[in-house]
Structure 1
Amino acid sequence: MPIDGTTDSTRGRGVLEGAFGLLEAVERSGSAGLTALAAASGLPKATAHRLLEQLVQLGALERAGAAYRIGPRLFQLGQEWQPHPGLRGAAREPMRGLATATGASVGITVLAQGRALIAGAVAGDLDAVVPLRPGSSFSWTTAAGKVLVAGSTAAAPLHSAPSGWARQAAAIRDRGVAIDMEEVVPGVCCIAVPVRGSGGKTVAAVCALVEPTQRLRPMTDALSRTASHISARLHPRHPATHVRSHRRATG
């Protein structure tokens, strides 16, 4: 054992944490230099430089002048990530069809570290206001996040639950829909419904961003049909588990 009392596994975790801290700092900034990344990750400058150069050699990062940005190998590895087997492929065409028919921005989200993580998206009329991009995430208190947390069988890592959340979650499960009326972004309404896997388990939420002036009942019905189509594509050999339509919606 080293004289400082650390083990090889402990040191290995420290190196990995430092490397991931730098990757996250690069992801947040898009492109940044050594000094900024060392400060953002909390690493000594010499340590940050050594890890950054190793990440460049591995293709996880690449240099752009004096700055670092995400590299091609990390991008390639990320494309293979599946939050649920076949989910992104199953969602692609139904989401595109809904966006084309309605002009809505449509996204498929999963619960990751207590947030609604976008696994796939199709841009719509409100893309300039709220861009949906794969890999970005939103608070669980958004409509999509509430659908995911309400349908989760495991204890979600909620930092703070609003008053009356248990009652609200029960209503979301009963109606099969959550609606955000300009609560997050002025001028933007978000509707979300669950995508169900085997046994009716919520494996994702599909959401649509529309203007508040749009009639919500037809939009919610269309979104529910889209979720059912995605569920059917996830289980092509079995009858689709249909998403229960909401009982009522504003608009």
Structure 2
Amino acid sequence: MRNSVDHPSAGPSVIQRVMSILNLFSRNHTVITVEEISEVLGMSSASAYRYASELSQAGLLARSSGKFRLGPKIIELEYLIRFYDPVISAAQDLMEGLAELTSCDVLLCNFYEDTIVNVSHIPGRTPARITYSKGLPMPLFRGSQAHVVLAHLDRRKLRRLYDAGMSDPALRPDVCAIGADWPRFLSALKAIRERGHYVSRSELDSSVTGFAAPVFGEAGEIVSSIVVAANTGLPLRMPEESMITLVVQTAQVLSQRLISHPK
């Protein structure tokens, strides 16, 4: 693939170039052109076409009427994640049971380095209007899923994320008290860690209340969060304290499964 770029020894790595191309895709932009690839990579159209052709041969892209769409390898990888990811597999029946007990939506939000993604979603009897549906990256500083993840990161990584996210509106004190400054940010997360859960009210969607608890992996690291998303305007099937207890217990059982049966 190195021969496909104009100056292979300078600039972004091959992986960075591939990600730049894949990042062109979105819900509203499902096919891309050679011109777009040329612009994002800063190379000639001929080199961009050769680059896209090699990605098509690898299955990451597929030609479609002179343009390119996501290829079969992406579908294969999505299948493997959906059915064989250890966290998703271990959580499935627990999430279904939680949705049945609460009548609310249940989400599994996995943490990947500096990104939180809704990887599994079980609708409740009265589905909530959730913006960040399955497969979408979620805010790192807003929402119940984010608070319980951040609360269990080590300080060095937390500081890096905090510094990188200073432009995030959620870190402004007038938007969210968690980000007033670094000491208060740490203090707020410590309180969440001690409680073992977090309840968000209209932080991501104005009509949704989120109840979240942390999920830990084999080495005791934070890997995910279990979230119950309830319609704010509708009465809960049970008191909030009971809802919180169920979410925390579900997350604990899932954590124990991951620790006892690592894959």
Provide TM-score, normalisation by structure 1. Answer: 0.77
Contact persistence 1:180–1:190 (CA under 8 A): yes
Contact persistence 2:148–2:198 (CA under 8 A): yes
Distance 2:19 2:33 in 1: 15
Contact persistence 2:24–2:32 (CA under 8 A): no
Q: Give the letter aligned to residue 152 of structure 2.
A: G
Counting only pairs closer than 5 Å after superposition, residues 7-46 of structure 1 correspond to structure 2 as 10=9, 14-27=13-26, 29-34=28-33, 37-38=36-37, 41-44=40-43, 45-46=45-46
Contact persistence 2:38–2:48 (CA under 8 A): no
Q: Give the letter aligned to residue 20 of structure 1.
A: M
CA deviation after TM superposition for structure 1 residue 75, in Å: 2.5
CA deviation after TM superposition for structure 1 residue 36, in Å: 6.5
Paired residue for 1:62? 62
Paired residue for 1:249? none
Q: Give the letter aligned to residue 17 of structure 2.
A: G
Q: Does 1:231 align with 2:255?
A: yes
Contact persistence 2:105–2:122 (CA under 8 A): yes
Contact persistence 1:104–1:210 (CA under 8 A): yes
Q: Does 1:155 align with 2:157?
A: yes
Distance 2:13 2:115 in 1: 25
Contact persistence 1:123–1:132 (CA under 8 A): no
Q: Does 1:76 align with 2:80?
A: no
Q: Give the letter aligned to residue 110 of structure 1.
A: N
Q: Give the letter aligned to residue 259 of structure 2.
A: H
Distance 2:63 2:75 in 1: 15
CA, structure 1 residues 33+62, in 2 after alignment: closer, same or farther (shift >3 Å)? same
Q: Give the letter aligned to residue 18 of structure 2.
A: A
CA, structure 1 residues 202+20, in 2 after alignment: closer, same or farther (shift >3 Å)? closer
Distance 1:39 1:105 in 2: 42
Residue by residue, what CA displacement relative to the aligned partner does 1:43-81 show, whole Å, maximum 9, x if unpaired? 443333222222112111223334422212122234445
Q: Give the letter aligned to residue 16 of structure 1.
A: I
CA, structure 1 residues 177+69, in 2 after alignment: closer, same or farther (shift >3 Å)? same
Q: Give the letter aligned to residue 243 of structure 2.
A: M
Residue by residue, what CA displacement relative to the aligned partner does 1:88-128 show, whole Å, maximum 9, x if unpaired? 21111101221233232222223334332223332344355
Q: Give the letter aligned to residue 69 of structure 1.
A: R
Distance 1:140 1:33 in 2: 28
CA deviation after TM superposition for structure 1 residue 216, in Å: 2.4
Residue by residue, what CA displacement relative to the aligned partner does 1:177-201 show, whole Å, maximum 9, x if unpaired? 1111012211011111011335654
Distance 2:242 2:38 in 1: 49
Per the alignment, in what secondary structure is the counterpart of residue 157 of structure 2?
A: coil
CA deviation after TM superposition for structure 1 residue 29, in Å: 4.4
Q: Give the letter aligned to residue 145 of structure 1.
A: A
Name which of structure 1's ranges 148-157 and 21-30 shifts more when overlaid on structure 2.
21-30
Per the alignment, in what secondary structure is the counterpart of residue 235 of structure 1?
A: helix
Distance 1:14 1:131 in 2: 31
Counting only pairs closer than 5 Å after superposition, residues 117-136 of structure 1 correspond to structure 2 as 117-124=117-124, 125-126=126-127, 128-134=129-135, 136=136
Unaligned runs of 5+ residues in structure 2 are 1-5, 172-178
Contact persistence 2:32–2:69 (CA under 8 A): no
Q: Does 1:183 align with 2:203?
A: yes
Distance 1:38 1:199 in 2: 40
Aligned-residue CA RMSD in angstroms?
Answer: 3.1
Q: Give the letter aligned to residue 165 of structure 1.
A: F
Distance 1:221 1:121 in 2: 20
Distance 2:196 2:35 in 1: 45
Paired residue for 1:222? 246
Provide TM-score, normalisation by structure 2. Answer: 0.74
